[in-house]
Amino acid sequence: MRHVLAIAFLILPLPVLAGPVDDVLDHHILPRLERLASETALLSTVAEQHCDGPSALLQAAFNRSVDAWIGGSHLRFGPSEEENRAFALAFWPDSRGLTPRSLTVLLTQEDPIGLDPVAYREMSIAARGFYALEFLIFDPDISTSGSEAYRCVLIQTVAADIAYTSMEIYDDWVSRYADLMRNAGENDRYQSEDEAVRALLGALSTGLEFTADMRLGRPLGTFDRPQPQRAEMRRSERSLANVRESIAALGELAVLLAGENDPLSANLSIAFARAISRADIIDDPDFSGVAMPGQRVRIEALQRQVRDLRELVNTQLAPELGVAAGFNSLDGD
Amino acid sequence: MVSRRQLLTGLLATGMVPRVTWADVGNPAFLSAARDQSGAYALYGLSHTGARLFRVDLPSRGHSGAAHPFRPEAVAFARRPGTFAMVLNCAAGTVTAQIEAPAGRHFYGHGAFSLDGSRLYTTENDYDAARGRVGIWDAQNGYVRIGEVSSGGVGPHEMLRLPGQDVFAVANGGIETHPEMGRQMLNIPFMRPNLSYLSADGDLLGQVELPEDFRKNSIRHLAAASDGQIAFAMQWHGSNETHPPLLGLHRLGQQAPLLISAPEDRQRQMQGYAGSVAMNANGSLVAVSSPRGGVLHLFSAAEAAFERAEFLEDICGLGPSGLGVFSTSGTGHVARVEAGALSPLRHHPVNWDNHLTALPQS
């Protein structure tokens, strides 16, 4: 019997059991967070020279940084969860309007905390991060409120704070967290490779859910009561761009997770590419079209497609990765 | 406050000598919602040994139920953010009323009856204002809505009545959601859960919050012992690198809640998520389940100490069962766990849903 097995092992190619964790780290997480750190460092440098809202250079640097953030915003575990870092970069949705309110207070009172990037780390997260910076650069009221000199320094402070937080996230991944995932099974955080895979799959699935429910669902509201004013980053006309960017990043993660299962990885690539082309035919950068039936249909169709992507991930990719979908464990209530 | 006279007239109105009681449907011990193999949803009555006593169809996925104190009548709540609840006659297997949440409100999936059975209380979301509400319904007259009061916080989830009195404990999870955005959580950085105690008329009798470090621990589910001891189960929304306590004990009038955890290596098995909580009949044993970790943790209430873990895939529903607890799993298993061991009772070809509702025993 032992001989038979030994021969079988000699003849049959051994299945490659290397999991997708290394690939996801090397081709998705680390490069994307490195890009976030370098783009935001550049943003901070540009802000030092060009701190007035209408500056084309500042706006371009803002856009590149937000692209980088959106492309890694689904990685909400580990380093980005420590010390509220992800919230410090991205406090959205802001259902109570805390961001404009706290910025207005800073600008009108010229609070000295706005002049000091180190002190600013203690500031309420509502006044920090990309969404606060968007108000300072693009909002007609906030971008003209208070004195020009204070506003300029506040923009520099917020940009420097964003760059610092982004660098911390990247550093924490490089110096610590990536190894915890790579060496799953040899540390307490990830006691098996399955746990690491589950965390990555969770990021993919909740990332898709966030894009469908929030980036698309918030402005869609209901047919009778559309909510265009709730669209993410509508002031910088990035609402659609953010959706597109997030689908592209999540598609990359999905395909890497599918690993060497070629049919599945082809299925996923096609499905994500279809969703991206559906986003491309929408000519409505700030989603103000949710209130117009013709445009609304297209935005709703995109939302359905993102939900279908999540379904595809949960029903095809998750079982492939051996992640059981329990009736209650998935329910979350 | 409900006066003694009101209580008595209430009892008379519902029939002091009820024509049909829970005994007439075989004295079920628990109610639980489930999905069957055909994909249909229903509410089931289960005996103490896990036998199926009755089944009533539900139109969609259920979450939890509330049992009338003596009529064999149950209210089955839709899964959050559902806007309906069905009143079921468990003897006839029929729906006797359908409750609709008023405009601008949805149910959270839990509720409780008053001591005399005359009123039903439901946890609700006033979502445009992000305020937790408790809806009050007239259980004697076709479940018309009588009014609503503050739940004492944001995102109320489970509420229950303390045994033998008209005092309600409400788990205000602290999480703001809006049905237009599914179950997305809108206020994690600022969430502030609490455990509130309400009178029958909605007066706030007491309220406790968690220490600052545990502010992201959503208080969701509750169990009560006959002496008024409350056990609450939490769901962690902070860093996944820490494994905070997910179980707390409190008694109305006490200052701070007592938070209890298993040793670190055990606590991490829960994956930051307690799905249900139960106490045994004399309140000496507390159990919390984690369907994500497929694990049940048992604690001694008196010593506030971890006793041991039992592993059961997709375990969630828990209820009191003598000196132990009764459990259901999404895999269809029904089991009893006593101080010494876990005994599988039965397997049904259904997916048992999150919660068991313990029924009054005659």
And the tokens for A36? 């976030």
User: Both A294 and A241 in a single domain?
Assistant: yes
The CA distance from B125 to B185, in Å, is: 13
Q: Are residues A197 and A88 in the same domain?
A: no
A2 lies in some domain: no
Q: Is residue A232 part of a domain?
A: yes
Q: Is residue A307 part of a domain?
A: yes
CATH of the domain at A148: 1.20.1420.20
Domain boundary residue, one of A138, A157, A182 = A182
Give domain status of residue B1, yes or no: no
- Please enumerate in sequence order all residues whose Cβ is within 8 A of that of B6, keeping only pairs 6 or more positions apart, or say none: none
* Backbone torsions φ then ψ of A240, nearest 5 degrees: -70, -40
Whole-model pTM: value is: 0.89
Closest CA to B65 of B86, B93, B51: B86
Query: Which has the closest alpha carbon to B154: B168, B169, B170?
Result: B170
Name the closest residue on chain A to residue B350, using Cα atoms. Answer: A327
Residues of A in contact with B178 (CB under 8 A): 95
Q: In this complex, do B241 and A82 lie within 8 Å of one another by their Cβ atoms?
A: yes
B319 beta partners: B326
In-domain check, residue B98 = yes
Query: Which pLDDT score, from 0 to 100, does residue A14 have?
Result: 43
Query: Hey, is B255 helix, strand or coil?
Result: coil
Are residues A128 and A44 located together in one domain of the fold? Answer: yes
- What is the least distance, in Å, from the CA of B358 to any CA of chain A? 19
CA pair distance A37, A53, nearest whole angstrom: 22
Which pair of structure tokens corresponds to residue A87?
């919230």
Q: Which domain holds residue B102?
A: 26-358
| A32 and A156 belong to one structural domain | yes
Neighbours of A181 (CB within 10 A): 24
Position A279, amino acid: A
Instruction: Decide: B39 and B25 in contact? Cβ < 8 Å.
Output: no
User: Which residue in the set A213, A327, A333 is minimally distant from B181, CB to CB?
Assistant: A213
Domain termination site, one of A133, A159, A182: A182
Kindly state whether residue B18 falls inside one of the protein's structural domains: no
Regarding whether A201 and A172 lie in a shared domain, the answer is no
Q: Is the peptide bond before B69 cis (omega within 30 degrees of 0)?
A: no
* Cα A315–Cα A321–Cα A324 angle in degrees, nearest 5: 60
Does residue A250 form part of some domain?
A: yes
pLDDT in tens, B6-23: 554 555 555 454 578 898
d(CA A184, CA A178): 10
Strand, helix or coil for residue B7: helix
Determine contact, residues B193/B237, Cβ cutoff 8 Å: no
CATH (domain of A228): 1.20.120
Q: Is the dihedral of CA A25, A27, A32, A37 positive or negative?
A: positive
A325, part of any domain: no
How far off is chain B from A165, nearest CA to CA, in Å? 16
Residues A53 and A149 placed together within one structural domain of the fold: yes
ipTM of the complex: 0.82
Clarify whether residues A159 and A292 are in a common domain: no
Residue A182 distance to chain B (closest CA, Å): 16
Which residues does B211 contact at the CB level (< 8 Å), separation at least 6? B256, B259
Instruction: Test A188 with B265 for CB contact under 8 angstroms.
Output: yes
Domains held by chain A: number: 2
- % of chain B with per-residue pLDDT over 90: 83
Residues B239, A209: C-beta atoms closer than 8 Å: no
Cα distance between residue A39 and residue A21, in whole Å = 25
Rounded Cα distance, A44 and A162, in Å: 8
| A127 within some domain | yes
Q: What is the pLDDT of residue B270?
A: 96
A330, part of any domain: no
pLDDT, tens digit only, all 333 positions of chain A: 445 444 444 444 444 446 899 999 999 999 999 999 999 999 999 999 999 888 999 999 999 999 999 999 999 999 998 888 999 999 999 988 999 999 999 999 999 999 999 999 999 999 999 999 999 999 999 999 999 999 999 999 999 999 999 999 999 999 999 999 999 999 988 989 988 999 999 999 999 999 999 999 999 999 999 999 999 999 999 999 999 999 999 999 999 999 999 999 999 999 999 999 999 999 999 999 999 999 999 999 999 999 999 999 999 999 999 886 678 887 778
Q: A210: closest CA among A268, A249, A162, A259?
A: A249
Cα–Cα separations (whole angstroms), residue A281 to A208, A276, A284, A298? 20, 9, 9, 8
Residue found by looking up tokens 């008196």 in the block? B302
Query: Rounded mean pLDDT of B242-252?
Result: 97
pLDDT at B221: 98
Question: CA B350, CA A307: separation in Å to the nearest integer?
Answer: 27
Query: Is A27 in the same domain as A166?
Result: yes
Q: What are phi and psi of B316, to 5 degrees?
A: -145, -60
Q: B354 to chain A nearest CA, in Å? A: 6
Rounded CA separation A139/A104 (Å): 12
Residue B352 belongs to a domain: yes
pLDDT at B42: 94
- The radius of gyration of chain B from alpha carbons, rounded to an integer in Å, stands at 19
- The domain tally of chain B equals 1
- Confirm whether B11 is domain-assigned: no
Residue A27 inside a domain? The answer is yes
Q: Is residue B19 part of a domain?
A: no
Check residue A5 and give its pLDDT. 45
B185 touching chain A per CB within 8 A: no
The pLDDT value recorded for residue B14 is: 56
Measured in angstroms, the CA of B109 and the nearest CA of chain A are apart by 9
Q: Do A210 and B184 touch (CB under 8 A)?
A: yes
Does any domain span residue B17? no
pLDDT value for A176: 96
- Note if the bond before B344 is cis, omega within 30 degrees: no
List phi, psi (to 5°) of B217.
-105, 105
Tokens matching residue B27? 């004295």
Task: Compute the distance between CA of residue B362 and CA of residue B347 in angstroms, rounded to an integer.
Answer: 26
For residue B116, pLDDT beyond 70: yes
Q: Which CATH number characterizes residue B89's domain? A: 2.130.10.10
* Cα three-residue angle A56-A57-A60, rounded to 5 degrees: 85
* CA–CA separation, B80 and B101 (whole Å): 12
pLDDT tens per residue, range B136-190: 999 999 999 999 999 999 999 999 999 999 999 999 999 999 999 888 999 998 9
Q: Which of A127, A162, A182 is the C-terminal boundary of a domain?
A: A182
Answer for the pair A91, A129: CB distance below 8 angstroms, yes or no.
Answer: yes
- Verify whether the Cβ–Cβ distance A333 to B79 is below 8 Å: yes
Report the b/e string of B313-350 with b at 16+ CB within 10 A: ebbbbbbbbeebbbbbbbbbbbbbbeeeebeebeebeb
Residue of B nearest to A206 (CA): B184
Chain B residues close to A217, C-beta within 8 Å: 180-182, 184
- As a residue count, chain B comes to 362
| Domain that includes residue A166, residue range | 21-182
Burial (Cβ within 10 Å: 0-12, 13-18, ≥19) of residue A224: exposed
Chain center to CA of B48: 18
Q: Dihedrals φ, ψ of A280, to 5°?
A: -65, -25
Q: Does residue B8 sit within a domain? A: no
Chain A neighbors of B329, CB-CB under 8 A:
328
pLDDT of residue A1: 42
